[in-house]
Structure 1
Amino acid sequence: MTTPLAAAPPVTPPRVAILGGGITGLAAALRLQESALAIDWRLYEADSRLGGVLQTVERDGYRVELSADNFLTREPWARDLATRVGLADDLLPTDPARRRALVVSRGRVLRAPEGFVLMAPQRAWPVLASPVLSLAGKLRLAAEPLVPPRRDTADESVASFARRRLGREVFERLVQPLVGGIYTADPERLSMQATMPQFVRQEREHGSLVRAALSGQDRTSAQAKAERHETGARYGLFVAPRLGMQQLVDAVAARLPADRLATGTRVGAVTRSDGVWRVLDDGQRELGQFDAVVVTLPSRAAAAVLSGVDPALADELGAIEYAGCSVVCLGVHQSQITRPVDGFGFVVPAVEKRRLIAASFASYKFPGRTPPGHVLIRGFVGGALQPELADADDDRLIAVVREELADLVGLRGDPQLMLVARWPRRMPQYHLGHLDRVARIEQLASEHEGLELAGAAYRGVGVPQCVHSAERAAERVLERLALLHSSGKRG
């Protein structure tokens, strides 16, 4: 008589916790969900909704973005994510007729020189003809190829780099407001290596930004042609979901099991012992035990939950500074704008001493954002250079933006829609030495098996960079878990 074999113990799938339900956390969850390796993952989000700063609201016939209203396709990661969740046919390009940046110059809204992209003039004549720059400023810019390249490889601020290569006036009138519109940052502290390394590389390899632009290096012929006619940013490479950025959030979330998405759950700490990660809520109640943890929280929140695991890591995370801004959204009839603009919006140099960072005419970028005959304007207030303005109450913020728009574009009458979105301390500031700090953070995190960090705080603030960061973190987790599975080990 043969003795029956004992039943094998059930194989439990590895468990992974994802902290944070913004686009980074959602992208990490989707990558785990798509894996051939069965993963029992859980996502924890403190807010009652998913998406983080990406949020679209419908109000009185207006489709209003409360933060980012598009993403860049120069890097494929966000576009590929949208395609995987079924949105490929819903991505709208920007209106080609308005692909230009405007800048406030001595109280007037003017076109930025055609072909001037952030810090590199693609064409000489539009810059020389531009009323934004004085004759002295134009001559200094024209002398850029004669400026010797910097031999020191130490990090340099955006302000220092731009003044050195392009001159003070070009920095103050063009570079500072264009960069400020992206990072809401102080360019005196902003790191070139962390934010615009391509220009550092161009100086090193060509000795001149002008010579690098004329060479067309790092660009396809189509990109080079487009940039010769665009200003400020590469608007031809921006897209948005037809129904707004919320559509991307909702499409990703719809691909995920709802019972694994825990909203309204604030994580207070994580601990690790005996190879097991324990996630605790803010009341120190255990939410679960896991083989790996992917932390996609802002770096200061990440520092708080990891302080008991690694104080040195927490200190480095907490040292990354953040700036905030408030967004005032106004819906008006087009007849109320008595001096219409012919671009997607305008940026405001700090030397103008105004109370706006920028204004975006959102309905000029993409269709379907307003009722017929109406315009949606978003005014940005605060940032690193005027943080106190962002903290004003709603009535004061609305009044400030209306007064500025009345002066700059002739806005008259009462808006049909008035909405304020506040984002305090939500934009990471890539200050001098940022990449060195990130390298230290990554080294310290690598010493804890199963711990991954992802998000805007590290190597890119845009939606594509956040998606890429999330997917790389998830893939590292999968590689580790697959290795443990093949060796028969866990933890």
Structure 2
Amino acid sequence: MNRLHVVVVGAGVTGLAAAYQLMKTGRADVTIFEASEQVGGTLRSIESERHLFEQGPDSFLARKRVMIDLCTELGLREQLVGTGPLARKTYLVSDGKLYPFPKGTYMGIPLTQEAFEQIPFLSEDGKRRALLDLTMGPDEERDNDSMGELLTRRLGREVVEKIAEAVLAGVHASPIDRLSVAATYPEIGEAARGGSLLRGLQKFVADRQHIAQDDDLPKTAFLTLRGGLSQLASALLSALHGLGATVHTGRAVTSIECSSRACVVRTAGSEITCDAVVVAVPAHRASKLFSAEAVKHALEGFHYASVATVALAYRPRDVLFELDGSGFVVPRREKSDVTACTFVSSKWPHMANREVVTLRAFVGRAEDDQIVGAPDEEILKRVRQDLANWLKADPEPTFTLVTRWNKGMPQYEVGHLARVAELVEVGSRAYPRVIFSGAAYRGVGLPDCAADGIEAAQSVLAMHSS
């Protein structure tokens, strides 16, 4: 059987995973084009003598096996580390003060009467309204429920605005009333359709605790790599070179055309003919590569928010709040530029340093991301002020680093699954040799992106074996 020639556009986690899956089968030759000067996409780790910071994601869900399997294949298993015991506690900002989440929650949602009673900033009416869920009938099947609509119906608006919005919508930097239940947390919709949302989520959490974990790995919900997640990108790149893949960085693809027999991929001043293409760049960038209006229109239907991370280091004596948790989240109602903050040196024991306290704040979200375009000095001024108020932190940290991710957060809005299905349909008609893959479509977490890249590779191989 002749080897396929496949072009992968984009060398983030998805593109690298797709290329690696293709190359290790021995059935394909792969050429990767990456517009930036380095591979890895959002995987960027900054390390100095005293600090280790992630500029993008800092971890992945351990229960999603694909990342563990990938790290194992690449010789990184011994580098996997878990969160420390302090990470079991998370705070939420309410009326300018930090409150710990009670035990017995799921994605911030209290699941029992006892948990609700431990939340001082919820009114008694708000607690009673939320507990009505226990006596309500099951929800009907709703394909286009937003998270805000579902939780308001089941638990009341106070719980949504004061608690759920900060966690559930915060993960996607999205307004909770536009966030698709089916595309983000389908288990929440399923629990509501089974009767009580709270009881359904209790069962979901209990069932998930029985998932087997490897004896040699930390028994924590999240894992990361000791030397930073950019280790994964470096290991994938090294493996691809070893397998004979061709990797071009600093070369952006400008257009893709396909016939029934082949595809032509163009960059500035060159073109390459191949058997198939995996497009693993953000949808707003992918839309500029195709001439077919139906495909362009489908890709333009995926929206993004801009966000930024702000790494800060302080002397321990300059932060008076006890950093005995993983961090805090901030609801929109607080009208703060900061949406969340990780207590890095508390969450990750391998990043702890007695001489320094490290934090990472997040700013920007959909419909409120103008701050991301401000100068570094303005972003730092606002972040430092919030941290001074909430953590009693000295307004002058010893180290700062601002990282912007313009249009970096895909918005999984109501109707998202239908938009993905439309892209697959019109894409397969206009460009049958092209597979669209990445964070915009089937999950934003690192395991989701890696799995989507692997699935894209398998689709290419299946397409050419039939």
TM-score by length of 2: 0.94
* SS in structure 2 at match of 1:357: strand
Map 1:240-319 to 2 at 5 A: 240-257=224-241, 260-273=246-259, 275-281=261-267, 283=268, 285-306=269-290, 308=291, 310-319=292-301
Match of 1:350 in 2: 332
Map 1:370-409 → 2, pairs under 5 A: 371-409=353-391
How far did 1:481 drift? 2.7
The aligned counterpart of 2:417 is 435
Q: Secondary structure at the match of 2:465?
A: helix
In structure 2, which of residues 306, 314, 339 is the aligned counterpart of residue 324 of structure 1? 306
More displaced 10-residue stretch of structure 1: 64-73 or 474-483: 474-483
| 2:198 maps to which of 201, 210, 213 | 210
SS state at 1:457 partner? coil
Map 1:84-483 onto structure 2 (within 5 A): 84-118=73-107, 120-204=109-193, 206-216=194-204, 219-222=207-210, 236-257=220-241, 260-273=246-259, 275-281=261-267, 283=268, 285-306=269-290, 308=291, 310-369=292-351, 371-447=353-429, 448-483=431-466
Q: What amino acid is aligned across from residue 18 of structure 1 in structure 2?
A: V
TM-superposed CA distance for 1:200, in Å, is 0.6
Q: Secondary structure at the match of 1:458?
A: coil
Q: CA separation in 1, counterparts of 2:441 and 2:318?
A: 42
Superposed CA deviations along residues 370-389 of structure 1, whole A, max 9, x for unmatched, are 54331111111111142111
The aligned counterpart of 2:216 is: none
Asked whether the equivalents of residues 130 and 155 of structure 2 are also in contact (C-alpha less than 8 Å), the reply is: yes
Task: In structure 2, give the amino acid aligned to 1:150.
Answer: D
Q: How far 1:120 moved relative to its partner?
A: 4.3
Counterpart amino acid of residue 239 in structure 2: R
**20, 25, 28: which one aligns with 1:30:** 20
Offset of 1:478 from its aligned partner? 1.3
- Check whether the contact 2:106–2:201 (CA below 8 A) recurs between aligned residues: no
1:174-212: per-residue Cα shift (whole Å, max 9, x none)? 1000123311111111111111111111111x2111221
Give the direction of change, closer, same or farther, for the CA distance of 1:418–1:468 in structure 2 (3 Å limit): same
Q: How does 1:16-27 map to 2 (within 5 A)?
A: 16-27=6-17
CA contact (8 A) 1:278 1:286 kept: no
Matched AA of 2:174: A
Q: Is the 8 A contact 1:112 1:132 kept in 2?
A: no
Aligned CA distance change for structure 1 residues 335 and 368 (closer, same or farther; 3 Å) = same
Rounded Cα–Cα distance in structure 1 between residues aligned with 2:198 and 2:93 = 24
Deviation at 1:69, TM superposition (A): 0.3
1:53 maps to 2:42: yes
Does the C-alpha gap of structure 1 residues 385 and 236 become closer, same or farther in structure 2, counting only changes over 3 Å? farther
The answer to whether structure 1 residue 79 and structure 2 residue 68 are counterparts is yes
Letter in 1 for 2:274: F
Q: Relative to structure 2, which stretch is displaced further, 428-437 or 91-100?
A: 91-100
Give the 3-state SS of the residue equivalent to 2:30 in structure 1.
strand
Whole-Å Cα distance in 2 between the matches of residues 252 and 314 of structure 1? Answer: 31
Asked if structure 2 preserves the Cα contact closer than 8 Å seen for 1:120 and 1:209, the reply is: no
- Counterpart CA distance in 2 for 1:110 and 1:16 is 52
Q: Does the 8 A contact of 1:292 with 1:450 survive in 2?
A: yes
Distance 1:51 1:357, change over 3 A: same
Output one character per residue of 1:412-437: Cα deviation in whole Å (capped at 9) or x when no partner: 15211110000011111011111111
CA distance in 2, matches of 1:358, 1:450: 41
Distance in 2, matches of 1:139 and 1:123, equals 12
Rounded to whole Å, the distance in 2 between the matches of 1:151 and 1:339 is 45
Whether contact under 8 Å (1:121, 1:213) holds in the other structure is: no
Cα deviation, 1:323-344, whole Å, max 9, x if unaligned, reads 0111111011121111123211
The 1:268/1:56 distance shift into structure 2, 3 A limit, reads same
Gaps of 5+ in 2: 213-218
Letter in 2 for 1:59: S
Root-mean-square deviation (CA), in Å? 1.9
Query: Aligned partner of 2:257: which letter?
Result: T
Structure 1 residues 128 and 222: alpha-carbon distance in aligned structure 2, compared to 1, 3 A threshold: farther
**Larger-gyration structure (1/2):** 1
Q: Distance in 2 between matches of 1:179 and 1:370?
A: 28
Q: How many residues align?
A: 457
| Farther off after superposition, 112-121 or 184-193 | 112-121
How far is 1:158 from its partner?
Answer: 1.1
Structure 1 residue 222, shift from structure 2 partner: 4.3
1:13 equivalent in structure 2: 3
Question: Structure 1 residues 316 and 126 mapped into 2: Cα distance closer, same or farther (>3 Å)?
Answer: same
Unmatched 5+ residue regions in structure 1?
1-10, 225-234, 484-491
C-alpha contact (below 8 Å) 2:388/2:395 kept by paired residues = no
Distance in 1 of aligned mates of 2:356 and 2:392? 15
Q: Scaled by the length of structure 1, what TM-score is found?
A: 0.89
After TM superposition, give the deviation of residue 152 of structure 1 in Å: 4.8
Q: How far is the alpha carbon of 1:221 from its aligned partner? A: 4.3
Give the distance between the partners of 1:242 and 1:217, measured in 2 at CA: 28
Q: Distance in 1 between matches of 2:69 and 2:37?
A: 27
More deviation, 335-344/322-331: 335-344
